[in-house]
Structures are given as structure tokens and as C-alpha cells.
Structure 1
Amino acid sequence: MLTALDWLPGTRLKIQPMDDLLVVGKTADGSVQVTADRYFRIPFRQRRRVGLLIGQRVLLAGRRSRDQLLIYPPSTAGRVLAAQPSLLDR
């Protein structure tokens, strides 16, 4: 996903909780940085705000047009998919 967004190692990111998900965007003064392995760590405060625990799997949605990554924790992803069961039939 980070490759598709062209977020290279060293890219600085800002992670903001919004409702029950996290919105990640590229910014020059971000406190989070993409690692050499093309990962980044979500700080505790942001994880806590959306109820995301260490090691939990998430649903990712990239928006190249806005240079954003949306991170849905399990509880939110379940609600999103439950609201649109036809998405699972495609």
C-alpha cells in the first residue's frame, strides 16, 4: 500500500484519529516516519483513540488522489462491511 502511494523510506506522516478510524497523510513536519522496510508505527495515543490494540489486523484503504491512507480497526471494519454485505459478494 505504501508503495502504491509512493511513500518512500524517510517520508514523514501525520496520523489523525477521525471518528473510529485513522487518517494518515504525508506532511513535511510529521512525527511518524516510514522505515526502510516501508512500515510505520502508529503511536499509542492514536491507537487508543480508535481502540486499536498492538498486533490487531486492520483494513487499509489508500486514496492516491488525496495522498492519504485510511486505517480501519477491526471494530470499525466490521461495521463498514456489515452495512454493505453486497461488497462481499463481488
Structure 2
Amino acid sequence: MTAALNWTAATRLNIREHDGLLAVTADPHGVFKLTKQGHVRLPADARRAARLRSADRVLLVAHLDRQTVTVFPPIALDQLVLPALHGGEDL
């Protein structure tokens, strides 16, 4: 994914929470960077804001034209998928 975005270890990133999701954006003034292996490391504050735990799996969606990755934590996926599985009824 980071290769498709043309992000390298030198790419500066901005990471922010919005409505329970995390947005990772290429930003020349960003304070975060990719690891040497090309991984995005989510800071503790961002993980807490998105209610992520250490073993949680996430869905990553890359927006190539916007140079952004959206991180969908499990709770956000549950809110999207569960109503459809139960005929549109909220649990």
C-alpha cells in the first residue's frame, strides 16, 4: 500500500482521528514517518482515540489521489456491517 502511494521512509505523515477512524496523510510538516520496513506506526494517542487495542486487526483503505490512508478499527467495522447482517436493525 505504501508503495502504491509512493511513500518512503522519508515521507512525513500526519495522523489524526475523525469520527472513530484514523486518517494517515502525507504531510511535509507531519511529525510521523514510516518505519524502515515501510510500516505506518500508529502513536498511542491515536490508538486510544480510535479505541484500538494492541492485537486488533484493522481495515486500511488507501486513497491514492489524496495521498491518504483511512484506518477502520474493529468497532467502526462493526457499526458498518452488523446492521446489514441483521436486516438493517441496530443491535
Q: After TM superposition, is the score higher than 0.5? A: yes
Where do 5+ consecutive residues of structure 1 fail to align? 86-90
One-letter identity of the residue aligned with 2:7: W
Equivalent in the alignment of 2:19:
19
CA distance in 1, matches of 2:68, 2:17: 13
Query: Pairwise CA RMSD of aligned residues?
Result: 1.4
Q: Per the alignment, in what secondary structure is the counterpart of residue 62 of structure 1? A: strand
Equivalent in the alignment of 2:10:
10
1:57–1:74 CA contact under 8 A, matched in 2:
yes
Where do 5+ consecutive residues of structure 2 fail to align? 86-91
Deviates more, 1:4-13 or 1:62-71: 4-13
Equivalent in the alignment of 2:41:
41
The percent identity for this pair of structures is: 31
Equivalent in the alignment of 2:53:
53
Equivalent in the alignment of 1:76:
76
The TM-score, its normalising length taken from structure 2, stands at 0.84
Q: Per the alignment, in what secondary structure is the counterpart of residue 6 of structure 2? A: coil
Structure 1 residue 64 and structure 2 residue 61: aligned? no
Q: Per the alignment, in what secondary structure is the counterpart of residue 2 of structure 2? A: coil
CA distance in 1, matches of 2:72, 2:43: 15
Larger Rg: 2
1:14–1:24 CA contact under 8 A, matched in 2:
yes
Q: CA deviation at 1:49?
A: 0.7
Q: CA deviation at 1:56?
A: 1.2
The structure with the largest helix share of the pair is 1
